[in-house]
Each structure stands twice: as structure tokens, then as C-alpha cells.
Amino acid sequence: MDRKDFRLLRALGRRDFLAVGGGIVSTALLAACDSRGPKSAEKLLRYAERKNLVVERALFRHTVMDVASARAHDAGNKLPSYFISKTLPVWDESVRGKWALAVGGLVGNPMKLTLEDLQKLPRFSYRINHYCVEGWTAIETWTGCRVSDLARLVRAAPEAQFVDFESFDNGYHESWDLESAVHPQTLIAYALDGRMLEPAWGAPARLFGPVKLGYKNTKFLTRVMFLPKANGGFWSDQGYEWYAGV
């Protein structure tokens, strides 16, 4: 350093340098090496999520439908297969008996619906987007019955403002707010692109709705519970946003 540089340091002043230095160091620490951020921030983040929930529910419109671009390609077999069990969960009839979807909770008429029963309910097909939390999307045509029809069939109580969708995939489940669950495009889907659902994508039946991120859409369904309170979910309990609406 020559004398000119020393003069420069003096001109800036020691206090300013400390302030700037402190700012740079703390920002660097904060951003360093893929860190999760300060632990104390966790409370603040939870608070933000609760506030976001209010905004997101206010933004939700029952009448807004997802429309997949007509020019876009269908994902077909490129739709990732995903499950949390060690191996692909397959319903083995010889061991577990015939598959049926249990619908219960705060309902007037709890039921067990076989695949044939589900197929007898009004059938809807939508070519819609799958919005994954990872950032990718995939277009598929899903066929099934509406959760809203299911709710009417079992006479869900007005206090049941939440719906929990459970699976036989190692306990995977995700609970939804009722508004999103009874959205017209939220289906108990049993067919994909015109063919009966295969195990790779959640057979015999799975939840599919474009109004929530992919992880909210439980595959390998076993039980639908109408509840007075939210019941978290596999990914929600680990820190992913519970509402996860798109």
C-alpha cells in the first residue's frame, strides 16, 4: 500500500469500514455454503407460511380451471414414477383381498367403494398440468370421479373442512382444505391417458388435482377422511408448505 491508499482508507473512516465489513461478513455467512439459514428464523418462516395461507386461500377460485396448452406434448411414459416405499407398492389381492376405497370421518354414510363402484360415479376426463414442487410440469389426461361427488355420496358434515387422503405407500398421506378438494378438477383418478392406471403411477386409484402441487396428490389411495382439522401430510410435516396451492 502506498500513502495514497492510506489516505483513502482514512477518508472513508473506520466506522464505515466496520459497518461495510460487518454487512459483507454477515451476508456471506447467511448465504454460505448451501446453509439452511439461522435456526431462529424458523419461527419467522412458519409465521410467513401462515400469512401466505390466508393470501393463497383468498386467491383460490372454485371456478378457475387449469387448461393445458393445446400445442404442448403429453408426457406419456416420461411422467416420473414416484413412491416412498423401498419398492413399487402394488396391491396384492391374494394377500390383502379386493381393493376398496374407504371413505369416512365426519360423514353421515361411511362407505367402502370398490374400483367398479368408483367407475359407476359420474366420470370426468381432464387434460391438465401436473405442477411439481421441483419446477417441472407434465401434461396428462386423467380420468376418474370427483371428490365433490364422493363428499355428497357419503354426506360429509359441514364441519368437515379438511380432507385427508391416505395411501398404502408406507403411510404416505396429505391433507387438503375442503375448497381445493371439491374443485371440479380434483379427481379420484383410476385412468391415465385412456388406460387403467398402472402401479407406477398410483394404481388402483390416486388423487389428482391441478390446483395443488404434485406432492399433495396422494397415490395408491386406501382411505379418504373428512376431518374438522388439517392433518398435515408426509411432505408437509417435513417442512414443505402444507397448502401448496397453484
Partner 1 sequence: MERKRHHWIVRLTHWVNVVAVTIMVGSGFRIFNAYPAFARKGELFCCYPWEGQPIPGWLTFGGWLAGARNWHFAMMWVLVVNGLVYLTFVYLHGEWRELVPRRGHIRDSVQMLKFYTFRRKDHPSQGKHNALQKTAYFMMPVVGLLLVLTGLAIWKPVQLAPLTNLFGGFVWARYWHFLATIALVVLSVIHVFMVFTVDPYSIRAMITGKYDDSLSPEARNARPFQNLGPPRASIRPHTPRPPDSSSAA
Binding site for partner 1 (CB under 8 A): 4-5, 7-8, 11-13, 16, 19-20, 23, 27, 30-37, 41, 44-45, 48-49, 51-52, 56, 59-61, 64-67, 69, 72-76, 78-80, 129, 131-139, 210-211, 235, 238-241, 245-246
Identify which of residues 30 and 93 has a Cβ nearer to partner 1 in the complex. Answer: 30
Identify which of residues 74 and 198 has a Cβ nearer to partner 1 in the complex. Answer: 74
Identify which of residues 61 and 229 has a Cβ nearer to partner 1 in the complex. Answer: 61
Q: How far is the CB of 111 from partner 1 (least distance, A)?
A: 30
Q: How far is the CB of 16 from partner 1 (least distance, A)?
A: 5
Identify which of residues 25 and 112 has a Cβ nearer to partner 1 in the complex. Answer: 25
Q: How far is the CB of 14 from partner 1 (least distance, A)?
A: 11
Identify which of residues 7 and 152 has a Cβ nearer to partner 1 in the complex. Answer: 7
Task: Transcribe the chain into DSSP letters.
Answer: --HHHHHHHHHH-HHHHHHHHHHHHHHHHHHGGG----TTHHHHHHHHHHHHHHHHHHH--TT------TTSPP-GGGSPP--SSSS-----HHHH-S-EEEEEESBSS-EEEEHHHHHHSPPEEEEEEEE-TTS-EEEEEEEEEEHHHHHHHTTB-TT--EEEEEESSTT-EEEEEHHHHTSTT-EEEEEETTEEPPGGGTSS-EEE-TTB-GGGS--SEEEEEEESS---BTTGGGTS-SS-B-
Q: How far is the CB of 21 from partner 1 (least distance, A)?
A: 11
Q: How far is the CB of 4 from partner 1 (least distance, A)?
A: 4
Length of the chain: 246
The Cα diameter of the chain in Å comes to 89
Q: Which three cell numbers stand for residue 42?
A: 424458523
Identify which of residues 74 and 117 has a Cβ nearer to partner 1 in the complex. Answer: 74
Q: How far is the CB of 187 from partner 1 (least distance, A)?
A: 15
